[in-house]
Amino acid sequence: MRLLFCGDVLGRTGREAVQEHVPELRKRLKLDFVAINGENAAHGFGITAKLCGEFFECGVDAITLGNHAWDQKEIISFIDSEPRLLRPRNYPAGTPGRGAGIFTTGLGKRVLLLQVDALDDPFAAVEQELARYPLGGSVHAVIIDVHAEATSEKMAIGQFADGRASLVVGSHSHIPTADAQILSKGTAYQTDAGMCGDYDSVIGMRKEPAILKFTRKIPGEKLSPAEGPGTLCAVFVETDDATGLARRIEPVRLGGRLGQTCPAP
């Protein structure tokens, strides 16, 4: 199978990058499944039902969220009705929505997409889902989005799931890391996929208000997304049909300011 995970989509420029590049990537790379992290899609803070629909229309199969999941209050009532929209799996019992989902591709393959963050024990949540849906058994691919700050925690979860997931990829820090690799037991891994947004910024936000937030300790202008050309940052993985483990992982960076890279078909 061929999988694509796009990092945190931030504001209008991030949405435009996804809408521009995902349709062509689906064709060029013959993608079976595309997931994005959409928790910053609505002007940097959360996501709306309308934006979810726009992402699905351009070829996105599923959306993960994170610590900004509830910034747009409409999502609290919407998320239960949209199985393609996932919040972190390790949120407390009774939280609206779901933290994992099974998605069937056009060729009938089953993909488990799971997200965890740092709120509660992410290792236990990962273990529960991997035990319930073993790779190569009830599902053909497993993608784990680790929405966390600490690079060590992301790497630890990658090693914890090695051999039991197709891809473990980090989100949240908005910077693409240079450690795309296949771990020793066959799981593809990258500490952070990066951001889909304007990199002439402070992690996607306008520079001046963000700098003032660090240099002055009094309330100032509210942070808002930078609006220059956006870069799509993503991770591409090709899996073995028999095992679901990774055969290939490559970063994707298209548009905007960063150095461009895209896998060969």
Euclidean distance between CA atoms 241 and 2, whole angstroms:
10
Q: Of these residues, 68, 147, 172, 174, which one is catalytic?
A: 68
Residues 6 or more apart whose Cβ sits within 8 Å of residue 86: 62, 63, 64, 65, 97, 98, 99, 100, 101, 113, 114, 115
Euclidean distance between CA atoms 140 and 241, whole angstroms:
7
Q: Could you tell me whether strands 181-182 and 188-190 are parallel, antiparallel, or unpaired per DSSP bridges?
A: antiparallel
Alpha helices in the chain (DSSP H): 11-28, 49-57, 74-78, 122-132, 151-161, 207-215
Distance of CA 19 to the CA centre of its chain: 15
Give Cα separations from 43 to 64, 105, 256, 261 (angstroms): 17, 30, 18, 27
**Angle subtended by helix axes 49-57 and 11-28, to nearest 10:** 30
Please indicate whether residue 68 is annotated as part of the active site.
yes
Catalytically active residues, by annotation: 68
